[in-house]
Structure 1
Amino acid sequence: MARQSPAFQDEHAGWADLFDGSSFHVESHVAGAMATAHWHDHVELNLLLEGRMTYLFQGRQETVEARRLALFWAAIPHRAIEVAPGSRLICLYIPFQDFMALPIAGSIRKAVMHGAFLKAAQIQTTDAGTFQRWVDEWPGADPARRRLLLDEACLRVRRLALDPLEASDSARREGGECRDGRSPSLDHAERMIEIINLRFGEELSIATIAAALGIHQTTATSAFRRVLGMSINEYIVRFRLSRALHLLADTDQPILDVAYACGFGSASRFYDVFKLRTGVTPRQFRSQLSAR
């Protein structure tokens, strides 16, 4: 489950059922100073259309100006403390497992996990129109369209990762400090994620992952939940589903092949998980895409 402060739950109560760590979401609002910090299990890609705002993020003040893209892991408590009147913000909430699956430099993924608040060094004039289109399309989008919007957002993250970035000095350092210091839990979680991301198509268990790290299963499970806010098995399911969605959308592989390639083990297991998490079957999802 995503971790949310009461203030965050109240502000977003209208779509709270959709907003969990496995769901992508797009929203736009006039930003304001927040009474308390909030946190949730996503990577945020934010674009301030007008104005200026300052976050309190991991003990640092991070100021964002209009039209400059910002990226950070929202599982780290964050709070808007100063906001210019009329500052309109567009937020894209990218599931953590989708971000971790992106083919970007490992140093970028590691920096984000360790608390980097990344900002584009240069303003891209096309971002405002693209982000507004995502906002406009989101409310009426079916699952296939929403997946397409997520794919477009992920492509923007990939481009951001290739462009010059700004980050505070502490966040730039390799192995920079995380929200509770350079803790063993973060090290363990980071290594477990690397194993899952590489071996998701295999039969994976907590015992297998813990053994690969040379740690006890209890240590592995507690460290992962402390850092990610979810169980190891939940992350595995989310990551496998993310990869399956990509294969269904981008290839003509038979559905059964997709199920096995992504580690689901059987067609029935794949269909059950897919329908539960997306609301449609794999065949329906692919049909919706081909109809467009």
Structure 2
Amino acid sequence: MRKERSATPGKPFDIPDDGFLIERHIADAMSAAHWHDHVEINLLMEGQMSYLFNGRQEQVEAGRLVLFWAAIPHRTVDVAPGAPLICIYLPLADFLGLAIDRDIRQAIMQGRFLADPQPSLADAVLLAQWVEEWGKGNAARRRLIADEVKLRVRRLILDTLDAPDAALERQPVGHASVRRAEMLTELINAHYAEPLTLTNLAECANIHPSTANKTFREVLGISVNEYLIRYRLARAMQRLADTDDPILQIAYDCGFGSSSRFYDLFKHRTGTTPKLFRSAVAGQTGRPWKG
């Protein structure tokens, strides 16, 4: 069955806000970027496709597991007709609770697109089994599948650490708009803690502000300012999960300018407060929580 997608940029309507989900659909090109607060694991069963992710074009090879943090706007492009795709949506708190390398977890939170060094026939069998059992299983069976997914993610990360060069391969991007978007996202990623405006970002990229916004909307389906907000929230969520730094300090360090603006944006975008998010992650990870 073909998966229906939301008509506007943002979180697809059929992905649960905070739950685990695994499903199979026919991959299709998306008209605009979307995002949701899960770590997404994909396995393309046949054909080929690519993502525009974090301002870059990432090729997805059939049979090769990929993983990325879906809170960073992403969009499927160049999809082969009829290509079956299995998608797993792992809640962020569950991902943060995994016993994995801290540096690579932070790299994923900062926009690294992770790919298994080698395609695996075993993954195609295993993920197809998960999809079938998820659709038919009771709550206990579904919890087991979620646990098995977490173990597979840990193996993927270990395999990537053993072959870092393979995981970092990128395909060249020729389109001028994608190159401009890449330049702008790199500027935001490097300077998100500073006061930023569309004008000074465009000046640093040596392009006109209207061109900068047009480029972003063409490539990601959102404005430069929207990407900046999402990226700052991503960094704040990482700090809330990984450190005991005061929430006020995190707000300023992540470029929000005031605690009230941080709280308002965080609650509006995530449905919870920074304090409750931190306590929920602490409960998942077993890390002492200091509030």
Give the TM-score taking structure 1 as reference length: 0.65
Aligned-pair distance for 1:92? 0.4
Which position in structure 2 is the counterpart of 1:6? 6
CA shift digits 1:77-113 (9 cap, x unpaired) = 1111111122110000000111111111111111111
> What secondary structure does 1:45 align onto?
strand
Residue 61 of structure 2 is aligned to residue 65 of structure 1: yes
2:147 match: 151
1:37-76 correspondence runs (5 A): 37-76=33-72
| Corresponding residue number in structure 2 for 1:190 | 238
Asked whether the equivalents of residues 100 and 154 of structure 2 are also in contact (C-alpha less than 8 Å), the reply is yes
| Aligned counterpart, 1:199 | none
Aligned counterpart, 1:167: 168
**Contact 2:236-2:251 at 8 Å conserved across structures:** no
Q: Residue 210 of structure 1: which of 242, 247, 252 is its match?
A: 247
- Percent identity between matched residues is 39
Contact 1:49 1:128 in 2 (8 A): yes
| AA aligned opposite 1:6 | S
Decide which of 103, 107, 111 is 1:107's aligned counterpart: 103
Offset, 1:192: 1.9
SS in 1 for 2:94: helix
Q: Distance in 2 between matches of 1:212 and 1:10?
A: 28
Instruction: Pick from 177, 181, 192 the counterpart of residue 189 of structure 2.
Output: 181
Inter-CA distance 221–94: structure 2 relative to 1 (3 Å threshold): same
**Structure 1 counterpart of 2:281, from 239, 245, 257:** 239
- AA aligned to 1:192 is L
Q: Give the aligned residue type for 2:144.
A: L
CA distance in 2, matches of 1:115, 1:105: 16
Q: CA deviation at 1:232?
A: 1.4
Amino acid at match of 1:71: L
Which residue number in structure 1 is paired with residue 136 of structure 2?
A: 140
The Cα shift of 1:160 comes to: 0.6
Does the 8 Å CA contact 1:20/1:41 hold for their aligned counterparts?
Answer: no
Which structure ranks higher in relative contact order (CA pairs < 8 Å, sequence separation ≥ 6)? 2
In structure 2, the residue matched to 1:23 is 19
- C-alpha RMSD of the superposition: 3.4
| 1:46-85 alpha-carbon deviations (Å, 9 max, x no partner) | 1001010011112211111100110001111111111112
**Deviations 1:113-168, CA, capped at 9 Å, x for gaps:** 11111111112221011100110011122222222111111111100110135135
CA distance in 2, matches of 1:57, 1:262: 34
Contact between 2:33 and 2:75, CA under 8 Å: does it hold in 1? yes
Partner in structure 1 of residue 199 of structure 2: none
Does the C-alpha gap of structure 1 residues 10 and 79 become closer, same or farther in structure 2, counting only changes over 3 Å? Answer: closer
Equivalent AA in structure 1 for residue 52 of structure 2 = L
CA contact (8 A) 2:51 2:76 kept: yes
User: For residue 91 of structure 2, what is the aligned residue in structure 1?
Assistant: 95
Cα distance in structure 1, aligned partners of 2:282 and 2:136: 26
- Gaps spanning 5+ residues in structure 2: where? 171-184, 194-231, 253-257
- How far off its partner does 1:41 sit? 0.8
For the residues of structure 2 that align with 1:178 and 1:228, how far apart are their CA atoms? 24
Q: Is the 8 A contact 1:43 1:71 kept in 2?
A: yes
* Equivalent residues of 2:63, 2:124 under 8 A apart: yes
Q: TM-score, normalised by structure 2?
A: 0.65
Query: Which residue does 1:78 correspond to in 2?
Result: 74
Q: How many residues align?
A: 221
Give the secondary structure class of the aligned counterpart of 1:162.
helix
Task: Structure 1: state its 5+ residue gaps.
Answer: 170-176, 197-207, 245-260, 264-292
In structure 2, C-alpha distance between the alignment counterparts of 1:33 and 1:89, rounded to whole Å: 12
